[in-house]
Structure 1
Amino acid sequence: MHWQQLIKSALLGTERHPLDEQTVAALKKLGISTAGEPAEVLANAIAAFGQLRKAKIPVVEFEGDLPGATEKDALPALSRTSAHHLQLILEGKYPELLPEFLELLRKNRRMIPARLLPQLMATKDLKNSWPQIEPFIGNAGRWLLQQNPDWQQWAPLPFAEGKETEKLWETGGSAERVELLRRLRRKSPEKARSLLEQSWQQEKWTDRLAFLELLLEGLSLADEPFLESCLDDKRKEVRQLAADLLAQLPTSALGQRMYRRAMDSLGFDGHRLVVSIPDEVDEAARRDGIRPIAPEWPGGRKAGWLGQVVSRVPPEHWAHHFGMEAGEVAELFLESDWAETLAEALRLAAIRFKSAVWAEALLTVLTGYPGLAVWQNGLEELAALVRPEFLLRFATALFDRNRDFLSASRQIMPLLQAVPGTWPEDLVYLLLQQFRRFALKHNWQPWEAPHLPQMLRLMACHASLSMENVLQEDWEEVEYRNASLATAIADMREVLLFRKAVFLGFEESGVTHVY
């Protein structure tokens, strides 16, 4: 009956056919505000009832009190234009531009509309993006976090550190206790570890494993005694995880034991790397997480032992051990008979210990070894450690060494995809020059090198906007000679125009900290 009344008012107009009292009362029961302009109330009512009818959901009368309005935010909200730009990014049209948008948000201190929070919470890299998002979700956003169980881990810690916390730890279910420990670990790592130690022996092994994973956040030497005791746990899964965590603490006893194993195994005779690997994995090594059989390390048991040990040693130790620079050590390793194993081990070690110096050294040396399997294992995590200025040196060396543009561009793509921020202008010029030279000489087809359109898009995402004209112009001959690239070039131009609109959107709202 109410639906017919709404349709009639829409057809005749709210002046000629205003909503009757019964319909207004029904809207209030559904939680729909009736305080605005009649046309606005009608539009909201039709939107709500229309969706309910399509979904075949019976209308249930709302009972209880509506939540009160949240306190006004101290910072101004995003302009409608900027909010629309953020929505387009979150809808997947320009996902690569989210980091740049969040940086603009940080510089200019604007609040994100609460209606966009669900899409923000669905982004792939939420864990890394959350520190940039959280300060700008506002009071309404923080209230929404509390309403969705899947989002509550990101909400401010609601638990006191007294008896209430201990009571929940003692009586809560597994999911509740994991959530409590996760939040407590962020706020008070020592308190979280203390609770865990008190009940550790009574926990199921699956819970012990879940709890132990949470110690990665805020991991420090204060956790070492507890983790060392976990090396003697009855379950191998728990023992392995504890060993992996201790390996991330280079000055821990396990870290030192791993260091001695590595140094005893690798030497230098003045010409080549000398590798000495034990025939068996002894009990001490097994306790430290070295598995006798490691399928992820091809080449047999000795390769598995070498890979597991070297990947758990901070790569800086090798420079001291051999008295060489990082690049020289990487070259020494890759010239050995164990190149495949050592290349992957160095990659993992640089990532584990977040060493930009060794990431850059290894990537530089790897350009001379394009056949190694490490290229297929994915270099994105390694590339994420390097500095933007390194890209220019790497790209220059790569194109100088490899005159085959398709091969060289495939090798550099993992870096281009992973390195954040604005690229050096000389790098953009170099990539454009190489790309245009190739496109004018070859009739490119999408199946031949599907990464080329992505390379153009990445240039549009990471080039300084001061280079807009350089990127936009001089494509006519390429498009004429190579029609298959026309769509990719149009996509690059579209991304550039959108980035420019994003910056202008902040400028229009009276913001000065744009560039």
Structure 2
Amino acid sequence: MNASAEWEDLVSTALVGTDRRPLPGGAPGEVELLERAAVHTLRMRAGHRLEKGEPLSVAPPEEQPALSPAAADRLARILGGERPRLLTEWLETAAGHGYRISPHLLPELLDQGARDRSIRPHLGVLAGNRGRWLAGLNPEWGFLLEEVTSAAVTGADGAREVWELGTSGDRRAHLAALRAADPAEARELLAATWEKETPDDRAAFLEVLAERLSPDDEPFLESALDDRRREVRHQAADLLTRLPGSRLGLRMAERGARYLSVEDGRIQVTPPAACDGAMERDGIRAKPPRGTGERSWWLQQAVARTPLAVWPRLLGRPPAELVRMKIVDWGREVMAGWVRATVLQGDPEWARELFAWDPLADLLAALPPAEQERVAADFVRRHGLDGQLIMVLGGASAPWGPGLAKAVLQKILEVSGTQPWNLGELTKLAGERIDPALYGVAERLSPEPPIQEVAALLRFRDDMLKELV
């Protein structure tokens, strides 16, 4: 009996039981069955001939500058558990300076990148040629081959070869660099290969066009509204929503005139009765999330894609009045649509008024940086320490300047006397977002432990960033 047939016979006996199907040769019992299976397994494992291996190729030489010993040591400390939340800031800063990671730290960082997508773009730069060589040997690190390389970032010779033969990351980086230098040429390059791109690449490349968006991009984006992939269509609709005077904006304005009106000092709402093909083409999804009514869903999306400049003309009120007017029956949907439109279109006037109505981190982020700090500092002074305060502060661009830093430090000092157990997240956020050069402000403010904890984290960051400059 050959080995394969013998194994199949053992498996069949095990499935039906030795009492119903005795082993070949009449041997009794389950123990004999297991012993024979063990012997067979060992024989099969030992019976394979060794295959002749091929020597590995040598990793190409590095082109990027190495980290300083102090910076490499600090990265090792962070990876070892000291201030682990600062890893992303360290990686982002180091990548921005074009460094490469010390070889002995590469495996641990690549393992981390396999688990955490957010750090992958930084690793695409920092891993250097050796990291990409390693990624070719380990499928779990293969993500690195899709990320940005230093050659793509620096605009090395052979740009045409990068676009035609490079990885998705290389090509995105090349397109972004070209978009920054010559928006029209970047758009034409993408249009020339558009039909051959994968759906995922088409969506990713459209994100690049958000940089230096102009009316010249409209014809290409209009054609993308007919794409087979829903994510591509919605990315194109988002860009056209941001583009003042776009045809999509005009179409949405016509719809908005049918949905909202003012009567007796109140906003009257007539939501869409159906979602036709033209609405879907303009970025309105027909199927609502579970628990949301269809008309509510269509109305909210339609308001979100309508140019904000339409509403003061249509309803005869400035944004400050509109956000405070009574909205009959459909107020939640209209307000949610206005919030989404404000974030999408980056309108500071609407963001200012809507933040006063409902303080949201995304609305704060739509304000100019200087105003963000002022509005956030005022909110910190007026608001108690809770989850909303933490979320709002998350929308304030880092690094925080002196005004917001002092407001947050004073809040920490105030709460430390009443609810010291409730300060954990605010203390960490302050230490991670305040300009690290302000560590002396925190050190001198108070000897209270939470304040000194912030000061220690700021000093750590200040030293960390100096090592990378």
Cα RMSD of the aligned pairs, angstroms, is: 4.4
Q: Are 2:342 and 2:351, in contact at CA under 8 Å, matched by a contact in 1?
A: yes
The alpha-carbon distance between structure 1 residues 360 and 146, as it changes in their structure 2 partners (threshold 3 A), is: farther
The alpha-carbon distance between structure 1 residues 85 and 257, as it changes in their structure 2 partners (threshold 3 A), is: same
Of 259, 266, 269, 1:272 maps to 266
Counterpart CA distance in 2 for 1:440 and 1:263 is 54
Q: Which residue in 2 is equivalent to 1:262?
A: 256
Counterpart CA distance in 2 for 1:278 and 1:147 is 55
After TM superposition, give the deviation of residue 86 of structure 1 in Å.
3.3
Q: Which residue in 2 is equivalent to 1:27?
A: none
Of 497, 500, 505, 2:456 maps to 497
After TM superposition, give the deviation of residue 388 of structure 1 in Å.
5.8
In the alignment, structure 1 segments of 5+ residues that lack a partner are 1-57, 169-175, 201-206, 368-378, 476-488
Q: Is residue 2:109 matched to residue 1:111?
A: no
Q: Provide Cα deviations, 1:367-401, integer angstroms capped at 9, x if missing partner.
A: 5xxxxxxxxxxx4544444436534434535654x
After TM superposition, give the deviation of residue 154 of structure 1 in Å.
0.9
The alpha-carbon distance between structure 1 residues 226 and 358, as it changes in their structure 2 partners (threshold 3 A), is: same
SS at match of 2:306: coil
Q: Provide Cα deviations, 1:222-271, integer angstroms capped at 9, x if missing partner.
A: 55445434545677676556545544444332232113322443334473
Of 351, 358, 366, 1:359 maps to 351
Q: Is residue 2:77 matched to residue 1:85?
A: no
Q: Provide Cα deviations, 1:254-300, integer angstroms capped at 9, x if missing partner.
A: 232113322443334473323233433344324323344422783x3
SS at match of 1:267: strand
What count of residue pairs does the alignment treat as equivalent? 388
Q: Is residue 2:439 matched to residue 1:465?
A: yes
Of 397, 400, 405, 1:423 maps to 400
Counterpart CA distance in 2 for 1:253 and 1:92 is 53
Q: How do 1:56-455 residues align onto structure 2 when only pairs under 5 Å count?
A: 63=55, 66-67=58-59, 69-71=61-63, 73=65, 77-89=66-78, 93-97=82-86, 101=90, 111-115=99-103, 116=105, 119=109, 122=113, 124-126=117-119, 134=125, 137=126, 141-142=128-129, 144-145=131-132, 148=135, 149-152=142-145, 153-155=147-149, 156-157=151-152, 182=172, 185-186=175-176, 187=178, 188-197=186-195, 199=196, 207-208=198-199, 211-219=202-210, 220=213, 221=215, 224-232=218-226, 243-244=237-238, 246-269=240-263, 271-295=265-289, 298=292, 300-319=293-312, 321=314, 326-332=319-325, 337-367=329-359, 379-386=360-367, 387=369, 389-397=371-379, 400=382, 405-406=384-385, 409-441=386-418, 452-455=423-426
Counterpart CA distance in 1 for 2:55 and 2:169 is 31
Matching residue's letter, 1:455 = L
SS at match of 1:285: helix
The alpha-carbon distance between structure 1 residues 180 and 190, as it changes in their structure 2 partners (threshold 3 A), is: farther
The alpha-carbon distance between structure 1 residues 85 and 346, as it changes in their structure 2 partners (threshold 3 A), is: farther
Q: What TM-score, normalized to structure 2?
A: 0.65
Q: What TM-score, normalized to structure 1?
A: 0.60
The alpha-carbon distance between structure 1 residues 470 and 366, as it changes in their structure 2 partners (threshold 3 A), is: farther
SS at match of 1:274: strand
Matching residue's letter, 2:205 = L
Q: Provide Cα deviations, 1:468-498, integer angstroms capped at 9, x if missing partner.
A: 22455135xxxxxxxxxxxxx3xx6455324
Matching residue's letter, 1:80 = P
In the alignment, structure 2 segments of 5+ residues that lack a partner are 1-49, 136-141, 179-185
Counterpart CA distance in 2 for 1:329 and 1:419 is 25
